[in-house]
Chain A
Amino acid sequence: DAGVTQSPTHLIKTRGQHVTLRCSPISGHKSVSWYQQVLGQGPQFIFQYYEKEERGRGNFPDRFSARQFPNYSSELNVNALLLGDSALYLCASSGGTGNYNEQFFGPGTRLTVL
């Protein structure tokens, strides 16, 4: 079975630009969460979606937004990029066999803002 997939793998942007990151959850999983991981730190929660509805939002500015599609895939959008947005962006899926507690992560998208 395929795991969580994310695209692109790497991305380089300049300050002020916007970016869209994509995630496909494990087949059968209905919930997707997004995390930001800065080098040397643990992942920090950004959003969680379940059945296309936002279920939770972390302490991130409104420049960050997300959505979930009918096929349960998800997009994370970041506007007006800042240097501090450079990080590994992780997507996690959950909900297999009704267990929404355990989250399985994808390989991440490495975003570099110049």
Chain B
Amino acid sequence: EDQVTQSPEALRLQEGESSSLNCSYTVSGLRGLFWYRQDPGKGPEFLFTLYSAGEEKEKERLKATLTKKESFLHITAPKPEDSATYLCAVQAAGGSARQLTFGSGTQLTVLP
């Protein structure tokens, strides 16, 4: 069974204080690993897709990396508007369905 574990559950940072969020996964063959941002009461917003170990993707203050067992979302010099829940999901290879298995998320709060 595919599993995704995110840590920490919650993280409070001062504005400008860089940090990393962790996503550990077990999957029977990885098709892709996905990062989403979710604001309260809204649907997840797509951020990145990573397909193979060693791959990195960047977008503004966010950088996602992937190894064979985990992914990190690095946040550099965060701003209060980066406050949100960050969700990690995996998609298993094989089969006709492209379902996503999500972790419980990391709730990030950036204080001004």
Whether A associates with B in a native complex is yes
Q: What residues of chain A have their CB less than 8 Å away from a CB belonging to chain B? A: 4, 31, 33, 35, 40-45, 48, 50, 55-56, 58, 88, 90, 92, 94, 100-108, 110
Closest chain A CB from B100 CB (angstroms): 6
Residue interface mask B42-67, A partner, CB < 8 A = 1: 11111001000000000000000000
Query: Which of chain A's residues have a CB closer than 8 A to the CB of B78?
Result: none
Is the beta-carbon distance between A90 and B46 smaller than 8 angstroms? no
**A102 & B99 in contact (Cβ 8 Å cutoff):** no
B residues 51-107 with Cβ under 8 Å of A? 87, 89, 91, 95-105
B99→A58 contact, CB < 8 A: yes
Chain B: how many interface residues by the 8 Å CB criterion? 26
CA distance A58 to B36 in the complex (A): 20
With a CB–CB cut-off of 8 A, which chain B residues contact A100? Answer: 98
Pairs of residues from A and B, 6 with the lowest C-beta to C-beta distance, nearest first = A56-B97, A42-B102, A105-B43, A45-B99, A55-B96, A105-B44
Q: Say how far B87's CB is from chain A's closest CB, in angstroms.
A: 5
Chain A residue numbers with a CB within 8 Å of B49 are 101-102
Listed A/B pairs (22) with beta-carbon separation below 8 Å: A42-B4, A42-B87, A42-B102, A43-B100, A44-B102, A45-B100, A48-B98, A48-B99, A56-B97, A90-B43, A100-B98, A101-B31, A101-B32, A101-B49, A101-B91, A102-B32, A102-B34, A103-B46, A103-B98, A103-B100, A105-B36, A105-B44
